[in-house]
């Protein structure tokens, strides 16, 4: 197979949603159809306690939430599928925002009872910004939920995108009978079973056979619903979906394997193959002959027995070959990788080559930072991997003086992963951790203790926001730093950061120092 054929069969996408909408369950079921796992993680009998395949970190199993993006790949009907299962919890939104820079399309999972929730809105805003095509999966149809038409109106309004149902539910909750697959014009009958797949019936919507399968009353309702769908929503157009103008909608129950295969079959046909990526210098096309890629995520300790770091690299163009030297642009040196890996949650296998759209794991001994570019020599810089201004701060202190080295190493690695941000206060030299949410502090403390054998304690500090500052006027910058000496810090890159302790102080600083630019993301 030549490179262009390999590119056209790749589908790289992220699954995003508000916590508890069923995102990780959907990921599991997609893997089940891809033949990657034989039994889904939803099996929770007392004898065998299994947790979700894609949540492998110890704390994820304890809390039942995803705190880090996991990457999985499988082959399906001749397509090569790369899934990124992202954390839904808002405290880990930054990991999700960065993941969205590495995918070509997105599946949004919505709970049929709760509709569109806060986190979904925020993530959709990122998709809109990047014109990422979106498919919506309305989950939990086997529970009582909202009216499907009401849900579609809410999706259009809240996500600010036109929608087009490609499947339609037949009742819901305990009375849920299945869905009519508009895309394939088949009836899918529902039998609640977490391990098996449901039966499909090819059926003419106007025949008596429909009445025989679902009853006269529901058959009538389905016919009038479908008529209404065709009347209200324009015919589905793949181009509009690829241009992020319309979102196809599917209904189902991921826990019961229902509506997942329909989603997957339609997805592989219509979803985009790898798309061009904007670098600072030029647009990089997947078909470009030379290899380029960028690091969008770093994870320490995927294997607890080996303290190893893995950098996740999204391939943008050309072909990646094992043991070939590639140029690390920021360090200006060539690196070769003898054991690049591909993932199935934390099971990984060494690969010989990879193509645009693929996500590979590169062993990292401290060479990589998020946003680094690898090429065959061309000087390129990929953009769009920001760190956001944290809103919660605590001083991190060593709770065990015998473990100073372990603590320092742990903090370094976890900050390199982008779990949170580290600032060093210039006034007293103390280390300050900034996060987007409270839960991150717990995760950091837990991982330091369990992965690095180091104990830390937190000390509260009253700060409002961290902002990066720069100015074309060196004298004014110097004057600002002198005036605000006790509120100045350096970030992990050594850049100047102003730690404002209230909104009022920040506004006053902006008014008093007109020559200084205040930034609320690290990318400026």
Instruction: From 347, 375, 403, give the residue that closes a domain.
Output: 375
In a domain, 58, yes or no: yes
Joined together, the tokens standing for residue 451 give: 């992965």
Q: What is the pLDDT of residue 117?
A: 81
Query: What tens digit of pLDDT does each residue of 329-386 get?
Result: 988 999 999 888 887 644 667 888 889 988 888 888 778 888 889 999 888 888 766 6
Give yes or no: residues 355 and 216 share one domain: no
> Which of 215, 242, 270 represents a domain boundary (last residue)?
270
The last residue of a domain, from among 251, 270, 289: 270
Q: Give residue 347's pLDDT.
A: 61
d(CA 166, CA 465): 44
Find the CATH number of the domain harbouring 282: 3.40.50.300
| 487 and 503 part of one domain | yes
Cβ atoms of 357 and 276 closer than 8 Å: no
Q: Which domain holds residue 327?
A: 277-375
Please state, in angstroms and rounded to a whole number, the distance separating the CA atoms of residues 109 and 184: 21
Phi and psi torsions of 426, nearest 5°: -75, -20
Counted domains in the chain: 3
Q: Is residue 381 part of a domain?
A: no
pTM: 0.75
Could you tell me the CATH number of the domain that includes residue 471? Answer: 3.30.70.3280
Cα–Cα distance for residue pair 380/278, rounded to 1 Å? 10
Q: Do 371 and 282 reside in the same domain of the chain?
A: yes
Residue 61 lies in a domain: yes
Residues of the chain with pLDDT under 70: 1, 35-70, 85-96, 191-204, 207, 300-308, 344-348, 384-388, 522-524
Token pair 């329909």 is found at: 262
Query: Of 86, 96, 70, 67, which is closest to residue 442 (Cα–Cα)?
Result: 67
- pLDDT number for residue 204: 67
Question: Are residue 194 and residue 111 in the same domain, yes or no?
Answer: yes
For residue 66, the model assigns a pLDDT of 42
Tens digit of each residue's pLDDT (9 = 90 or more) over 201-224 = 666 677 677 777 777 888 888 888
Three-state secondary-structure class, residue 82: strand
* Same domain (yes/no): 307, 366: yes
Residue 20 sits in the same domain as residue 54: yes
3-state DSSP call for residue 415? Answer: helix
| Claim to verify: residue 214 and residue 265 sit in the same structural domain | yes
Asked if residue 261 and residue 282 are part of one domain, the reply reads no
Residue 524 lies in a domain: no
Question: Is 362 in the same domain as 428?
Answer: no
Residue 383 inside a domain? The answer is: no
CA dist., res. 370 & res. 411, Å (int): 16
Whether 384 is in a domain gets the answer no
Q: What is the predicted pLDDT for the residue at 54?
A: 46
My answer on whether 322 and 173 are in the same domain is: no
Clarify whether residues 181 and 304 are in a common domain. Answer: no
d(CA 474, CA 516) in angstroms, rounded, equals 10
Residue 382 within a domain: no
pLDDT value of position 345: 46
235 and 307 housed in the same domain: no
Domain-embedded: residue 385? no
């Amino acid at each position: 197979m030549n490179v262009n054929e390999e590119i056209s069969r790749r589908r790289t996408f992220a699954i995003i949603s508000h916590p508890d909408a069923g995102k990780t369950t959907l990921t599991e079921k997609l893997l089940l159809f891809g033949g990657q796992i034989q039994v889904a993680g939803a099996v929770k009998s007392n004898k065998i306690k299994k947790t979700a395949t894609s949540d492998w970190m110890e704390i994820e199993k304890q809390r039942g939430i995803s705190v880090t993006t996991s990457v999985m790949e499988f082959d399906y009907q001749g397509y090569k599928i790369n899934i990124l299962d992202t954390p839904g919890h808002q405290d880990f939104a930054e990991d999700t925002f960065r993941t969205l820079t590495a995918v070509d399309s997105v599946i949004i999972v919505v709970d049929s009872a709760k509709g569109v929730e806060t986190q979904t809105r925020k993530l959709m805003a990122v998709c809109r910004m990047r014109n990422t095509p979106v498919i919506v999966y309305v989950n939990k149809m086997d529970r009582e939920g909202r009216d499907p038409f009401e849900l579609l109106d809410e999706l259009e309004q809240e996500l600010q995108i036109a929608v087009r149902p490609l499947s339609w539910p037949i009742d819901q909750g305990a009375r849920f009978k299945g869905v009519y697959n508009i895309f394939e014009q088949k009836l899918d009958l529902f039998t609640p079973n977490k391990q098996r797949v449901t039966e499909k019936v090819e059926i003419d919507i106007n025949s008596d056979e429909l009445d025989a399968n679902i009853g006269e009353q529901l058959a009538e309702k389905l016919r009038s619903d479908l008529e209404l769908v065709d009347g209200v929503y324009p015919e589905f157009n793949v181009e509009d979906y690829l241009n992020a103008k319309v979102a196809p909608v599917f209904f189902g129950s991921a826990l019961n394997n229902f509506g997942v295969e329909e989603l997957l079959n339609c997805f592989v046909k219509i979803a985009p193959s790898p798309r061009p990526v904007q670098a600072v210098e030029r647009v990089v096309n997947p078909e470009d002959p030379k290899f380029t890629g960028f690091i969008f995520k770093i994870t320490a300790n995927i294997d607890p027995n080996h303290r190893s770091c893995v950098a996740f690299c999204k391939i943008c163009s050309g072909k990646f070959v094992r043991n070939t030297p590639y140029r690390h642009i920021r360090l200006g040196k060539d690196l070769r990788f003898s054991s690049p890996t591909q993932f199935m949650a934390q099971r990984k296998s060494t690969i010989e080559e990879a193509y645009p759209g693929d996500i590979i794991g590169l062993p990292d001994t401290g060479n990589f930072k998020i946003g680094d570019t690898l090429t065959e020599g061309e000087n390129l810089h990929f953009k769009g991997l920001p760190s956001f201004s944290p809103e919660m701060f605590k001083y991190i202190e060593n709770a065990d003086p015998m473990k100073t080295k372990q603590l320092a190493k742990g903090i370094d690695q976890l900050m390199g992963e982008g779990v949170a941000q580290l600032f060093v206060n210039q006034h007293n030299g103390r280390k300050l951790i900034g996060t987007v949410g409270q839960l991150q502090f717990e995760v950091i403390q837990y991982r330091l203790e369990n992965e690095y054998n180091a104990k830390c304690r937190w000390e509260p500090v009253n700060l409002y926001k961290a902002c990066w500052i720069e100015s074309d006027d060196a004298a004014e910058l110097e004057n600002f730093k002198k005036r605000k000496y006790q509120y100045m810090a350096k970030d992990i890159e050594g850049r100047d950061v102003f730690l404002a302790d209230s909104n009022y102080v920040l506004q006053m600083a902006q008014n008093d120092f007109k020559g200084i630019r205040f930034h609320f993301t690290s990318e400026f």
